[in-house]
Amino acid sequence: MKRTVTILIGLLSLVVMFGCGPAPTPLPEPTPEATAVPPRDEIFVAVDGSGDYRTFEEAVMAAEDRATITLGPGSYRLVTGLETAKALTLVGAGKDETEIVSGAPGHVINFTGTGTFNARDITFRHDGSQMADVVVVDQGTGNFSDCRFTGAIFEEGKGNRAGLRFRGSSRGKVENCIASGNDNSGILVEKQAQPELRGNVCSDNGVVGIGYMDLARGLAVGNECTNNSIGIAVAVEAKPALEGNKCNDNDYGIAYVENGGGQSIGNECQRNRIGISIGGSSTVQLADNDCRDNTEEDIRDFR
């Protein structure tokens, strides 16, 4: 019995000794995770690399969807054509101040996304010798204002090329832009694209100022197409609405070929070889067009 009491007293002594010692060091509180950096939707790029990113390509790679990239004055050269599916807005300092240029074959910029690609106050220029478009909108929406598109290269038998090219089922609006100095077409609308073209100047292109092909639709209002082989060409099954455009000083002011149709209302076609040429199977509807002072014929209708 005494032995049992002694063991209990010893155990109690151990408990008291440890219980009365210093309190155990508390475990450190878990460190809260660092707050995530919010998506950056405003980016500035300078031609000398002093902006938010060193180059325009880096800015596009880092940009969140629907970001705005502002480009300072200068020439931004792309080593290879840029292809992006991001919905972006590009803002330059003016089409005579800011340019994006590439000599690579294929394109300067190709937008492949389903969202909206916007650009204003920028020149897009191709300066290479191999076949290339300048800017392509493959799908989605492309909006351009006060931009210039120049330098597209065309090779016979290898398809059309253009300064600005709408393909697929793309939409958009092009306002107060210049498409000039392109081998084939200034602005080309094909497949099922339906952009709205307003107040643009499409001059000194190798073949066509504004071209419509395939099942293209859309509206062209108040554009000037001069010094091209054809001011506005409508081919295959395309049926745009052409209103109030000036198609002067070309070989053909407006030409409808194959089953090209739609409406031609209030357009001016002067000092061309032929003002308006209409193929035998065209379905175009003409109204109030001003066709005069053309050297061969004001309206040549084969229907």
Q: Write out the E strands in 139-283.
A: 141-145, 148-150, 162-166, 171-175, 178-180, 185-189, 196-198, 201-203, 208-212, 219-221, 224-226, 230-234, 241-243, 252-256, 263-265, 268-270, 274-278
Question: What 3-state class would DSSP assign to 163?
Answer: strand
Q: Which residue has the higher pLDDT, 79 or 21?
A: 79
pLDDT in tens, 219-250: 999 999 999 999 999 999 999 999 999 999 99
Question: What 3-state class would DSSP assign to 92?
Answer: coil
CB within 8 A of 9, min separation 6: which ones?
none
pLDDT in tens, 98-127: 999 999 999 999 999 999 999 999 999 999
pLDDT in tens, 190-213: 999 999 999 999 999 999 999 999
Confidence of residue 26 (pLDDT cuts 50, 70, 90): low
Provide, rounded to the nearest whole percent, the portion of the chain with pLDDT above 90. Answer: 85
Length of the chain measured in residues: 303
Alpha-carbon distance 267 to 244, whole Å? 4
pLDDT in tens, 54-64: 999 999 999 99
Confidence of residue 267 (pLDDT cuts 50, 70, 90): very high
Alpha-carbon distance 98 to 223, whole Å? 24
Reported pTM: 0.87
